[in-house]
Structure 1
Amino acid sequence: MDQELLPFTFEELMAAFAQQWSRLVDLFLTPGWRQYQIVIALIVFLVALCLKAATKNRWSAWARAREGWPKWRLRILVQVMRRLTLVYFVLLCWLVYLVMQQLTWPSRSYIVGVLATLASAWLAIALLAWFVRNRTLRKIFQWSMWIYATLVALRLTDDVASFLDGIAISLGDLHISVLGILKAGLLIGVLLTVVRLATHAASRGLEANDDISPSMQVLLAKALQVGLYGIVFLIAIRTLGFDLTGLALLSGAVGVGIGFGLQKVVSNLISGIIILMDRSIKPGDVISLGDTFGWINALGARYVSVVTRDGREYLIPNEDLITSQVVNWSHSDRFVRLDLEFGTSYSDDPHLVRAVAIRAVKSVSRVLSGPGHNPVCHIKGFGDSSVDYVLRFWISDPTAGLMNIRGNVFLALWDAFKAEGISIPFPQREVRLLEDDDSGADAQQLPKE
């Protein structure tokens, strides 16, 4: 950093600030049109407050009636409603400024023009800041843009830019200044906001396209997101003045070292790409992996989110889905066949039992009936104390649960068998106590109550 240049530049900047400050003080203290403009601005502000109080309810009623508008338009309308006073002040300031430009000398409307410009900039910045979701970044964006707009209105941008450019570090051909860092930060912030909006719009467009499978939609959205963020990263590096040739050599060496330490992470990333490309699972599928049964909520770059019936969300690494046996209940279609086993007494007619069982299962709401999905009941075998049957039926909504549908079918069977007099046997055992006839042994005595 140039030690001689910095104090000189700082002194120039302070002198420029002092000059502008003295001009502002003179504007307020010198009698004449300058004070008249300040009074006019105060009157405009009071009129804006009165207009807000008089029209707020009407605007609110009109906004509530906009039910058919898209969400983004409604959100912008809400932001405008919150700043209704500022909106009125901007409109009135510009109207007064244009009228004064026509009726009097331009110098007699200078302050009103500056206030109109500042108010317009503040309103635009407040509305644009809504697109920045992160609160910290939003505050940084607002304050930085407000400061910049104020400097532009006071015509101090060149002096501040010269001062910030003088605070720099030079290493060979590399020149990094505070001004360059601020420009790079502002550019990166704008690009990141644009990329986020673009990726969200692209994701919504892909989801609305029925010709693209859900897994391919996720793959394309992730590829677009990675590509755009990579471009932003390269632009940021170039904006700061770094040479990408040296960075490429350094990143290659660092990448080899990171690869050995992040084998699992890389494996999960590659497994995620394979899952998305072969479309073995997709969002909404019902899967079983070990003791985990649920439906896929989202596919990530490193893991798959699986939500179970009890509301738990499991984050399963992509590698486990590639190397383990996974049951996909809805891979090719959403039809699932369930089997229930039961037994009846030998005294019950098996033809009647089968007919009653089929009629009972068809009465359950989620059970399908139709060609290819009709319930069937078969004799499985002759057990020790019952005739064993298997009842097979189909459902099309496994995400609604399997245990509950099994319970409903068992209840239907219970009610139907009770109405038809069909009994469900249970094992019975007889215990006999034999006396010991051997005279040399003591007879076993049972305790008496």
Structure 2
Amino acid sequence: MEAWLDANGLALPSRMDALEVAIAGALIVLALALGVFAQRSFGARASQFWKTHVAHHGEGLWERMPAILRHGVAALATSIVMSAYPWSAWGGLPIGLALGSAAALAAHQVLRGLGIPRWISWLVSSILFIALFSRAVGGLDAITATLDGVGVDVGRRRLSLLAITSALLVIVIIIAIVRLANRIVSHAIARTTTLDATQKLLGQKLATIAIVVAAFLFSIDLLGIDLTAFAVFSGAMGLAVGFGLQKTVGNLIAGIILLMDRSIKPGDVIVVGDSFGWVNKIGVRAVSVVTRDGKEHLIPNENLMTQEVENWSFTNRNVRVRIPVSVAYNCDLKVAQELMFAAAAESPRVLASPKPNVWLTGFGNDGVEHEILAWISDPESGVGNVRSDVLNRLWWKFKEAGVALPFAQRDIYVRSWPGEPLPVGRDRAPDEPTI
């Protein structure tokens, strides 16, 4: 054993090294105990706090908050232990194992909670473990030199495993930070009481764009990429936006304009062409309109800017429903009209103010035509069911009062039957057929 260690430039641990390992082990146990204590004492509170303030936009992270707190506190305490004393390689070995494991597990929980794919999360956690463990035992320079040695020179830059690994870490970390910042800012805007729903949605969209742009510029600077390298592609990108992405950019700008002028906002009941429903969401590309059948129509934002749109709840959510009704000519119109008014007033969705009304609209071929005018304040719940409820109530009221409904009637006058002479004073026309 000693010969093998001597051949590899290693030596058996001395008493001092063994003492360091024992002290380091005791401190590691204390750090892990602190992590468990933090989880049991503050894990539920941290989870509830995160669920209350951020979980509306990030449901996957608050469930992992106790585990994140345990591993994070353990990693922090272990890092303090490593930095507090110049440990030897033997003493740094258990510290590196504990620090790398705790930090890797905490990073895995955070990345999974933010929606990062599982394999990417484990890959980043493994890289973090190797880096922290190697640093603790003093072998990080050797690993970085080895990774940097495997690669090729491309112009003035070197493409190596170290550069690829660094770029992967930076990209994943930036994506995680963007998602976390977006959720926190979006939830903070949603909780603001001084803004209406449309202003909140616009603020969330603008904040998302600002966060993504800032993260892109920061990552470019962090990776050391020269922005002048993109100058060659600026003309091609301009052509792509002008031709291929014209509709996409137009819909994006139209969506921002819709949010700014507040002509259409979530919850409004609109009619666009053959689509009738309530606005569920105003996205970057399209507006989601949910119909009464449960179908979701995605209407491009540009169509809402260029086509005629009926907004039933733009300034007032009250909508008047017209219900046509006809009664027979021989019935009592006063009684029939009172029953129409009563049927509308008894319908649960019909408003008492403005109160319903009954109009006589005309004398038809078969009956006296009326129109029941009823107001509702929840058009997103549908209009046809209101008509159905009022007409059902009116049917039974007419039945009880004996009010007759009209039906088509035609009178046929027979001037003569076959074989009978024509009435006196009338001659058959030349082209009149003989019956």
Q: With the length of structure 1 as denominator, give the TM-score of the two structures.
A: 0.74
1:132 corresponds to 2:132:
no
Per-residue deviation, 1:322: 1.6
Residue 95 of structure 2 corresponds to 113
Question: Unpaired runs of 5+ in structure 1?
Answer: 1-17, 445-449
Per-residue deviation, 1:419: 2.2
Following the alignment from structure 1 to structure 2, what is the Cα–Cα distance between the partners of residues 282 and 275?
8
Structure 2 CA distance for partners of 1:258 and 1:87, relative to 1, 3 Å: closer
1:79 corresponds to 2:64:
yes
1:405 corresponds to 2:390:
no
* Matched ranges for 1:271-420 at <5 A: 271-370=254-353, 373-420=354-401
Q: Deviations over 1:383-432 (max 9, x none)?
A: 11211101101111111111111111111111222222212111123567
Q: CA RMSD in A?
A: 4.4
Task: Give the counterpart of 2:404 among 404, 407, 423.
Answer: 423
Structure 2 CA distance for partners of 1:111 and 1:230, relative to 1, 3 Å: closer
Output the amino acid matched with 1:408: D
Contact map agreement 1:129 1:142 (CA 8 A) in 2: no
Contact map agreement 1:268 1:319 (CA 8 A) in 2: yes
1:268 corresponds to 2:251:
yes
* Matched ranges for 1:151-190 at <5 A: 151-190=134-173
Following the alignment from structure 2 to structure 1, what is the Cα–Cα distance between the partners of residues 8 and 324?
94
Structure 2 CA distance for partners of 1:22 and 1:379, relative to 1, 3 Å: farther
Residue 219 of structure 1 corresponds to 202
Structure 2 CA distance for partners of 1:232 and 1:169, relative to 1, 3 Å: farther
Following the alignment from structure 2 to structure 1, what is the Cα–Cα distance between the partners of residues 383 and 63?
45
Per-residue deviation, 1:294: 1.0
Following the alignment from structure 2 to structure 1, what is the Cα–Cα distance between the partners of residues 368 and 289?
40
Per-residue deviation, 1:127: 3.5
Output the amino acid matched with 1:386: G
Task: Give the counterpart of 1:199 among 182, 205, 224.
Answer: 182
Q: Deviations over 1:49-94 (max 9, x none)?
A: 9xx9xx9xxx79x969x97873569976753667999899989999
Output the amino acid matched with 1:390: E
Q: Deviations over 1:333-368 (max 9, x none)?
A: 211110000011222222222222111111111110
Contact map agreement 1:337 1:394 (CA 8 A) in 2: yes
Following the alignment from structure 1 to structure 2, what is the Cα–Cα distance between the partners of residues 257 and 76?
38
Q: With the length of structure 2 as denominator, give the TM-score of the two structures.
A: 0.76
Question: Unpaired runs of 5+ in structure 2?
Answer: 422-431
Number of aligned pairs? 404
Following the alignment from structure 1 to structure 2, what is the Cα–Cα distance between the partners of residues 402 and 311?
15
Contact map agreement 1:174 1:241 (CA 8 A) in 2: no
Contact map agreement 1:176 1:240 (CA 8 A) in 2: no
